[in-house]
Structure 1
Amino acid sequence: MDLHRHGILKFPNAGLLASSHDRGWQGVAAELRSHPSGDLPAIVPTQMEITLATRRCPGAQVSRKGAGLRQQTAVEPGTIWLCPVGVGEDDINISAPLSEVLHIYLPEDRFKALADLYGDARIRADTVRYLADVQDPLIRQIGLSILGELVQESSAGRMMVESAALTLTARVAQAYGHDRPDSAAPSTEEGSCPDRIQRAIAFIRDNLERDLSITELAAVACLSPFHFARMFKRVTGRTPYGFVSAERLACACRLLADRKISILDVALRSGFSSQAAFGTAFKRAKGYTPSEYRKLIGWTA
């Protein structure tokens, strides 16, 4: 399923400021758009849409009708709208231009995976309520994290986004759909999880130069993405994203000590998309640039 097709159909006149279309994200997509005033076409979504206003637009309001409900919402930073799978929106109007709005799309199968994990068939993308002006700090924080990666790509950013999408799916299902059962049946895989996580760790260390994903690592561990993310944190004390980021920086430090390897090669072999991205991430983590680090360890050109 092309998650970005929804935005093309629903927002034909909107400006596209940033898109995850070429990022290779799995199980989630995001678009940052500007919207002119006016009406939007009627549409029945085939994926979960979460919309987050990121800037205040004085006087702007969004009026929409779906599932027989009329909603009118002032647009303020942090305003959240939920539009579930299958809820037809047949009347949407934007009263004034919106300069920056984040749209996050989650596929229906992410909710199915969550239902399978907890053994609760009531967890479905089409049972989420059609809501506007949702006040949810967790969804807002996740949305802003995804926005940060969308506008400035980072090392292991894809993994961070995919992990965040798992949490986002769980939050939407838990808070705005049917609750998970009070007692989920214990997994028969629980006892073998440490060994499975160690397999994933070995795979990470052998493939740091690649663009790793949660889905791929979960497959190596023979776990669902939800179960893998939860068990990885339990076993290692870190999220998969945090672990991969730390491993890439440790690898970069080892490579920087070798006089024969250029900084560009260090960046690529450590899994960074470019020397510039590597330099930014390295300085943010270490407090100095790769060149400054080489000087600190006594390396001279």
Structure 2
Amino acid sequence: MDFHRHGAHKFPKAGLFASSAGRQWNGVAAELRSHPAGDLPAIVPTQMEITLAVRRSPNAHVSRKGAGIRQRTPVESGTIWLCPVGVGEDDINISAPLDEILHIYLPAERFDHLAALYGDARIRADAVRYLAGVEDPLLVQIGLSIHQELIRESSAGRMMVEAAALALTARIAQAYGHDRPETRARPATDAASPDRINRAVAFIRDNLERDLSVAEIAAVACLSPFHFTRMFKRVTGKTPYAFVSEERLKRARRLLTERKISLIDVALSSGFSSQGSFNTAFKRAVGRTPGEYRQHYS
């Protein structure tokens, strides 16, 4: 599924500040856009779209109509719009220019996996309500974490985004479905889960230079991504993203003490896509650039 083609079609006149195209994110995509005033073309989405206003746009309103529902919403920082799968929007108008609007796209399969995990067929992407002006601090927090990674790539950022997408899917299904599932007991904890998480930890440490995904590591542990992320933190005390990021920085610090290894090779061996992103993430975490660290500790 080409999420970015959807964005280009729906927002033909919008500016594009940042995009997840080329980031190899699995099962989630995001775009940071600016929008001029005017009308948008009619569209029927085939994926779940979550839109978040990162910044307030004074005197701006978004008017839209979908599934026969008319909405008019002021654009404040943290304003959220939900556009579910299959809801045709045939009348969208932006009254004034908008800055820093984040669009997050989730495939319908995300909701299918959640439904399979909890055994509830009512959890569907097309069961989410068509809503505007949603006030949900949790959705805002998740959206801003994806926004931060989108504009500034970090170590293990792909894993963080994929874990955030899982949380985003669960929150939307739980809070904004037409038929909210009845409260159910959580799936029973697998007594072998610590051993499974230990296998995942060993796999991570053996593959730090690779572009790891939550789904791949969960498969090593023989757990669903939803169950894996919850169990991983229970066993290790860290999210998968935080653990991978920490392990990559540990490897980088060790490699930097070896003079024969170039800085770009240290970056690639530690799982960074470029020396620039490595420099930024390393200094943010350690307080020194990789070159300064090497000079000080060697």
* Residue of structure 2 equivalent to 1:279: 279
Residue in 1 that maps onto 2:96: 96
1:186 equivalent to 2:206? Answer no
Partner of 1:256: 256
2:74 is the alignment partner of 1:74: yes
Q: Is the 8 A contact 1:51 1:102 kept in 2?
A: yes
Note if 1:20 corresponds to 2:20: yes
CA–CA distance in structure 1, aligned partners of residues 146 and 266 of structure 2: 27
Deviations 1:243-297 (Å, cap 9, x if unpaired)? 0000001111111122222222211111112222212211211122223323443
CA apart distance, 1:53: 1.0
Q: Does 1:144 align with 2:144?
A: yes
Counterpart contact for 1:119–1:184, Cα < 8 Å: no
Within 5 A, what are the aligned runs for 1:144-183? 144-177=144-177, 178-183=179-184
SS at match of 1:142: helix
The total of aligned residue pairs comes to 297
| Amino acid in structure 2 at the alignment position of 1:166 | L
Give the match's secondary structure for 2:204: helix
Contact 1:120–1:181 under 8 Å retained in 2: no
1:118–1:184 Cα contact (<8 Å) kept: no
What are the Cα deviations for residues 206-265 of structure 1, in whole angstroms up to 9, with x where unaligned? 110111111111122222211111111111111000000000011111111222222222
> Partners in 2 of 1:190 and 1:121 — Cα distance?
23
Q: 1:215 to 1:186 in 2, by over 3 A?
A: closer
CA contact (8 A) 2:118 2:187 kept: no
Identity of aligned residues (%): 74
Give 2:99's aligned amino acid.
S
Counterpart position of 1:218: 218
**TM-score where L is the length of structure 2:** 0.95
Distance of 1:218 and 1:260 partners within structure 2: 35
Deviation at 1:179, TM superposition (A): 3.5
Which one-letter code corresponds to 1:266 in the other structure?
A: V
Opposite residue 26 of structure 2, the aligned amino acid is Q
Normalised TM-score (structure 1)? 0.94
State how far apart, in whole Å, the 2-side matches of 1:21 and 1:186 are. 35
Q: Which residue of 2 aligns with 1:238?
A: 238
Q: CA deviation at 1:64?
A: 0.4
> Could you report, residue by residue, the CA deviation over 1:107-148 in whole angstroms, capped at 9, with x for unpaired residues?
101011111111111111111111101111111111111111
Q: Does 1:58 align with 2:54?
A: no
d(CA) in 1 for partners of 2:186, 2:134 = 32
Provide the aligned C-alpha RMSD in A: 1.4
Note if contact 2:267-2:278 (Cα within 8 Å) is conserved in structure 1.
yes
Letter in 1 for 2:150: L
Question: What letter corresponds to residue 109 of structure 1 in structure 2?
Answer: E
**Following the alignment from structure 1 to structure 2, what is the Cα–Cα distance between the partners of residues 32 and 237?**
32
**In structure 1, what is the Cα distance between the partners aligned to 2:38 and 2:214?**
39
Structure 1's unaligned 5+ residue stretches are none
| Structure 1 residue 185 displacement after superposition | 6.3
Q: Is the Cα–Cα contact under 8 Å of residues 26 and 213 in structure 1 kept in the other structure?
A: yes
Contact 1:44/1:86 (CA < 8 Å) preserved in 2?
yes
What does the per-residue CA deviation read over 1:130-168, in whole Å, with 9 as the maximum and x for residues that have no partner?
Answer: 110111111111111111111111111111110111111
Equivalent residues of 1:155, 1:281 under 8 A apart: yes
Q: Aligned with 1:34: secondary structure? A: strand
Displacement after TM superposition at 1:12 (Å): 1.7
Deviation at 1:50, TM superposition (A): 0.4
Paired AA for residue 288 in structure 2:
Y
SS state of the match for residue 57, structure 1? coil
Equivalents in 2 of 1:18, 1:179: separation in Å? 34
Change (3 A) 1:61 1:185: closer
Query: What are the residue-to-residue correspondences of 1:43-54 with 2, within 5 Å?
Result: 43-54=43-54
SS at match of 2:3: coil
